Amino acid sequence: ILNEHKIVIGSTEFDYDAMTVITDKESLVLPKKGFLLLYKLAASPGRTFTKQQLMDEVWGYETEADPHTIEVHIGRIRERFKDNPDFEIVTMRGIGYKVVKK
């Protein structure tokens, strides 16, 4: 559900204005780029985004950041939310990433 600047998947809420992810257990503050990456994926569950789309959206079109940066951030997000019962980030081999509801 997308409401104002909040997305809800199950009992997990992504609050864009506060840059936090709220679960039934805690409120988590992520690094800005990590939050923006997760928010982008969570805004369209089931939709696959290419690394380039994510780089353009989160880092900007003019960035010189290495595309490997996406993999590093995804790894950190997965580790942080590995026990989350509501969603997971799935790798679409050769394509990109997507959030899927559990």
Assigned CATH class of 2-101: mainly alpha
Per-domain boundaries in the chain: 2-101
Cα–Cα distances (Å) from 4 to 8, 43, 81, in that order, read 11, 12, 24
Give the residue carrying structure tokens 């590093």: 72
Percent of the chain whose predicted confidence (pLDDT) is above 90: 83
Does residue 49 register a pLDDT over 90?
yes
- Give the per-residue pLDDT at 84: 94
Does residue 2 register a pLDDT over 70?
no
CB 30 within 8 A of CB 22: no
CA–CA dist 10, 23 (Å, integer)? 9
CB 9 within 8 A of CB 87: yes
Average pLDDT over residues 83-87: 95
